[in-house]
Structure 1
């Protein structure tokens, strides 16, 4: 179990983590979401003692991380896959970690096989792709067969097979009763992997709930079609619904339940030939939740330059 109580971390006049409290429990995958700069990595670093909190405290498996006599057997951590000596081989890196805790070499072979490092285990890490570096980082996190696993962006750089593998691995570890805490920017993958979500924005907790409850708190949206579009719009106006155009005979209605929409259409004498509830994805809910908490906001997509807008014609000079 990971316990975080009133955790605050400031750097000068900037507050990276602001009075954060939550618990990551065993037997489930807890996802950690938030925009860039929200405080996710800082929180994870505070949990494993790589940063000192300004106030508050963290405990892993009942005590502060630094007080564990054999921390690799308690907590496996992947925070930065590049934090490896580039001239070492993966095997040498894992052997050095194992030596600090008296972990047998047979365990190295087990995690190498588990993570798919295979033939690359005796290559120098400096020649690894981003995805292979991630696999090595996960192998190091699992080396001590820990009860708690913390993975920061573990699928970064992995191919589709690797992404699915991380999903199944996280779920398998949780099914064994371990505590699994991971972050990711891939909303679709987090929706498939996590049982519980903690969402953070500008250093503050925005949500801490089972993923099903977070999704259920999304907007009620319904796709509605009718040949009498004008009549449908007048009927929907009386319900106070938010209406967005879909196509010539369809709209997307936000607000009232489908039954209320059907009742309003029937009362107005409008025939409806489609009434389909639409579920918000985790990305939809997340974007709505964090829209005011984004530190780095993208501008509008750039327009093509005038000289690049039209294809060259025969006879035009390059």
Structure 2
């Protein structure tokens, strides 16, 4: 009798032990599977950049270029009249763009649109300023704010902190409020004349100085007078710029990102004339 009791008890013990082992093994499998799911890497979509042909096929975005925003006399010279827009007229033009349904965009958005086919807001326009004049901040940025616009300020660094020009504080404030700061050389010498150390003086050092002021990368550049040559583009790329802006001449078929077109807004134009000129210049505009 004792023998049979012993065997029965031992059998129950083995059965119980097997159940425990089976249960433990199953739990380990679940844990292992769960761990694999948690640590599995997420799939990432790799963006493919457009080539020059595809970039040129994209509809152009209207890009306006302003210089001085101040009053001038009727007797002023032709250069002054061409490069200077009166404050009241500038305010009128900003309102006209807003009323027509335009939305301002910045260079990062334009780059992503051209290179990666990313979407832009309906009726995009880019508003840019050259030469670092102080009224671009005191008048230009103030008027743009009324219409919920942001602009691009191409700065020549030799002028920073000079009377009637942007100060470091102005440039930082523009950047902090959502405008884009970009480079326009050190002292506005034509890129077509550069040699030797000029590339460092006019491209590399201004980029570094502006980055120090705003604490952000400077990725965009505007050619003085809109003049460029093929020899300049490798140097601009080497200096770390992603795009460069000319004026309203033809884009280069090989390097369209470094020949982005802009249109100077003349101080002799009425607001309707400015809108007509923009439409005519960028006929295939988005």
TM-score for both structures, normalised by structure 1? 0.28
More strand by share: 1
Which entry has the higher C-alpha Rg, 1 or 2? 2
Bigger share in helix: 2
TM-score if structure 2 supplies the norm length?
A: 0.31
